[in-house]
A = this chain, B = another copy of it.
Amino acid sequence: MATSPNSPTLRSWIDIPPTSDFPIQNLPFGVFETDERGPHLAVAIGGYVLDLYAASQHGYFEDLVELGDAQPKVFRRRSLNAFLRLGRPAWRAVRQRVSEMLRHDAPELRDNEEAVRQCLLRQTEVRLLRPIKPANYTDFYSSIEHATNVGTMFRDPANALLPNWRHLPIGYHGRTSSIVVSGTDIKRPNGQRKAPDEDLPTFGPSRQLDFELEMGFVVGTGTALGTTVPIAEAEDHIFGLCLFNDWSARDLQSWEYVPLGPFLGKNFGSSMAPWVVTLDALEPFRIAGPVQEPAPLPYLAQSGEHNFNINLEVALTPAGGPETTLSRTNFGLMYWSMAQQLTHHASNGCNLEAGDLYASGTISGPTPDSLGSMLELAWRGTRPVPLADGTERKFLLDGDTVTMRGYAEKEGIRIGFGEVTGTVLPSE
């Protein structure tokens, strides 16, 4: 019986500091290129990437029948999508094999200097690309604290949650074309906005640019149009999770969104982290979600642990200035689980596709220092947020860099998500 790649006793022959997001128990998937190589699929290990195409060419996956005849070419792609379509047995087989290759007592790769040189590259020497080509993108609204805060600010504190909110995971379709990888600058969008005290709308740079701290999950196994997904099987379709920043122009959004929802206030750019942490790697971090009251309808009812205990934080760094941590929260707080989101999404027969991205919506906690957007942190501009450089923010300024980080931790093992970061450029 092979050792589980999640076993806390595993250690690697690669030197990995204990603060690294990428110990041997993690092995998240991504895509990279260099001037000479790629794009190739890769796994993160410590400060390195393991080039899966190179490893495949060196024969390390030769006996993985789960890959069929897809290798090595499935690893020489610009996105994980083709690999995702191979299905969970293939994802698991590769992660298991990579784990075996990197164990401290496995000489096969460790002692092959030429193979190490070909397969392992420092992360600082590669360009990490957007890991998937998002087939479809849906953004949910599943944090009860966030939905309550927004309802309190913009509607009625006594009836902050809309009548449908506790009955179904509210979501909307987002734009796939403008989803970019971490590190991509975000240009402040122009657009129409009309403040309540203005008679007419004007067109110009957004005056209320914001971030939204989110997690996204990537679907690996699709469904056929007209079929549904029983809630007990929902997680079978999920490949993994990543950090996600749903940049938002609040002034554009509030002018345009009635009655058909967010549109240009969102689709100028969304940032995803380069690493997708597998659901398998997160198994040790399952927790129960909040009690749902009223109980969801039967098709959404689930018991057991379907939330994940993932610490999250968001930080802001002004141009040249020191970083300020704005907020710390936890993904485990989400009212609606990913399984419920997925089952609801497919409940009308809507087909899922490999490479689909489903984001959580802003993740806010119950306290003022655990809020996932500037809108909430500065409470609609009424309580500006102080920064370490002595300035304050109601919304984002040009030059501001927003960085989100996340990790799960247990028994000394830290399963990290890397970071998703982006800098605001001035509008044109």
Contact = CB atoms under 8 A, between A and B. Distances in A.
Interface of A: 135-136, 141, 162, 164, 167-168, 170-178, 180, 187, 189-192, 194, 200-203, 225-226, 228, 249, 252, 255-264, 267-269, 294, 297-299, 344-345, 347-353, 356, 428
A252 B348 contact: yes
A137 to B, nearest CB: 8
Contact of A297 (B192, B269, B299): B192
Q: Please state the number of chain copies in the assembly.
A: 2
B135 A268 contact: no
B269 A173 contact: no
Contacts of A203: 297-299, 347
A201 B267 contact: no
A261 B297 contact: no
Given A203-B297, A256-B164, A347 B191 contact: yes
A261 B350 contact: no
A270 to B, nearest CB: 11
A328 to B, nearest CB: 26
Contact of A178 (B167, B176, B350, B428): B350
B180 A225 contact: yes
A264 B348 contact: yes
Given A173-B174, A225-B178, A260-B262, A189 B348 contact: yes
A344 B256 CA distance: 12
Nearest to A167: B201
A346 to B, nearest CB: 9
A258 B176 contact: no
A258 B164 contact: yes
Contacts of A353: 177
Given A192-B167, A203-B297, A350 B255 contact: no
Given A180-B225, A225-B178, A256-B168, A349 B189 contact: yes
A268 B314 CA distance: 36
Contacts of A258: 162, 164, 259
A264 B187 contact: no
Given A172-B261, A178-B225, A260-B141, A349 B162 contact: no
Instruction: Name the residue in A190, A225, A269, A344 with the highest tally of chain B Cβ atoms < 10 Å from its Cβ.
Output: A225
21 contacts: A135-B176, A135-B177, A136-B177, A170-B260, A170-B263, A173-B267, A177-B350, A178-B349, A178-B350, A189-B349, A190-B347, A190-B348, A192-B347, A203-B297, A252-B348, A257-B261, A261-B262, A264-B345, A264-B348, A267-B348, A269-B349
Nearest to A222: B177
B350 A175 contact: yes
Among the interface residues A190, A228, A268, which one has the most CB atoms of the partner chain B within 10 A?
A: A268
**A164, A191, A249, A299 — which one has the most chain B CB atoms within 10 A of its CB?**
A164
B348 A172 contact: no
A345 to B, nearest CB: 7
A260 B177 contact: no
Contacts of A226: 187, 428
Contacts of A190: 228, 347-349
Contacts of A225: 177-178, 180, 269
A185 to B, nearest CB: 9
B180 A264 contact: no
Contacts of A298: 203
A35 to B, nearest CB: 22
Contacts of A252: 348
Given A178-B225, A261-B260, A201 B297 contact: yes
A352 B267 CA distance: 11
A259 B260 contact: no
A409 to B, nearest CB: 33
